[in-house]
Amino acid sequence: MRKWFECVPNVSEGRRPEVIREIQNAIQSVKGIKLLDVESDSDHNRSVFTFAGPKEPVKEAVYQLVDIAIRRIDLREHKGEHPRIGAVDVIPFVPLWDATVEEAIVLAKEVGEHLANTYSLPIYFYEDAASAPHRRNLSDIRQGEFEGLAEKMKKPEWKPDAGPEEPHPTAGATVVGARFFLIAYNIYLGTTDVSIARKIARAIRASDGGFAYVKALGFEIKQRNLVQVSMNLVDYRRSPMHRVFELVRLEAERYGVPIVSSEIVGLVPLDAIVAAADHFLRLENFSKKQILDFQLLKNE
């Protein structure tokens, strides 16, 4: 059993390289942590750190990040295009390998309580860690931003889940949560008729009766004379990529339109790739343990 968690904290600092570097160094100094990505945007004045590891190192890395952010960031002076309510705006935890969403929820709550107690920082739990349905969506929690937070917190439905009932003077509040790994997946269709992409998006997405863990929209890709079904696969184990591909192919066939290609944006778990190969090759009794690279790279 290898229980790892990915953590993707969003920090309200995208302009001072020395602060971003300080956070990056702190994360990398935690033994057992793999820093996967750091993205900073000065217009947004925001940085996103992606790292992963076992539970305890992930906690330690988050605590180090929060400690630096709270010391170095003053939201009263913060300007940027991206909405935010906290110096550390949001901390999502994603279960990897043998870890479950339930364990990510426990991790999110432990981290949230610890931060609330240590820094007198108000905490909201969101997504799968939400304490009520109206708190699931990040954008609803963030509505009003740091500047409107003190007023918002006075409403009973926006009382924080942990910590004081007023914003931290310089660090606002932090949204902490758990969700499953998301695959950003696009399929390109050989037509210029965007209505076909939109019809297919409706056919396959949860909100219109399609796959339960698929969000989808149809777009025109003018420079390529194609249309795109743009998707978020929010649980690739239960609504797998290859099944989504096959249904889009069948639906497109009904309009006489072929799939030209598909595209995975960003990272994808090996499981999802293996499941696709397994499906199309009709493999029997195939195990990830048979993958040579996996045997060679595992640090056991």
Scanning residues 84 to 123, which ones bind a second copy (CB under 8 A)? 96-97
Does residue 195 interact with a second copy by CB under 8 A? no
Q: Nearest Cα to 88, choosing from 66, 105, 110? A: 66
By annotation, the residues acting in catalysis are 82
Q: State the minimum distance, in angstroms, from the CB of residue 146 to a second copy.
A: 32
Residue from the set 11, 20, 27, 52 that interacts with a second copy by CB under 8 A: 52
DSSP 239: S
Look up tokens 């778990």; give the residue.
269
Does residue 184 interact with a second copy by CB under 8 A? no
Q: State the minimum distance, in angstroms, from the CB of residue 214 to a second copy.
A: 15
Does residue 298 interact with a second copy by CB under 8 A? yes
Does residue 247 interact with a second copy by CB under 8 A? no
Does residue 264 interact with a second copy by CB under 8 A? yes
Q: To which H or E segment does residue 50 belong?
A: strand 46-53
Q: Please check whether residue 147 is in contact with residue 86, taking contact to mean a CB–CB distance below 8 angstroms.
A: no
Between CA 272 and CA 279 the distance in angstroms is: 11
Q: Please check whether residue 168 is in contact with residue 123, taking contact to mean a CB–CB distance below 8 angstroms.
A: no
DSSP 43: T
Number of residues that bind a second copy (CB under 8 A): 46
Scanning residues 265 to 294, which ones bind a second copy (CB under 8 A)? 266-271, 273-274, 276-277, 279-286, 290-294
Show the tokens assigned to 229.
């079904």
Q: State the minimum distance, in angstroms, from the CB of residue 175 to a second copy.
A: 23
DSSP 162: B
Q: Nearest Cα to 221, choosing from 250, 253, 261, 255? A: 261
Q: Applying CB under 8 A, which residues contact a second copy?
A: 4, 6, 34, 36, 52, 96-97, 181, 188, 241-242, 245, 259-264, 266-271, 273-274, 276-277, 279-286, 290-299
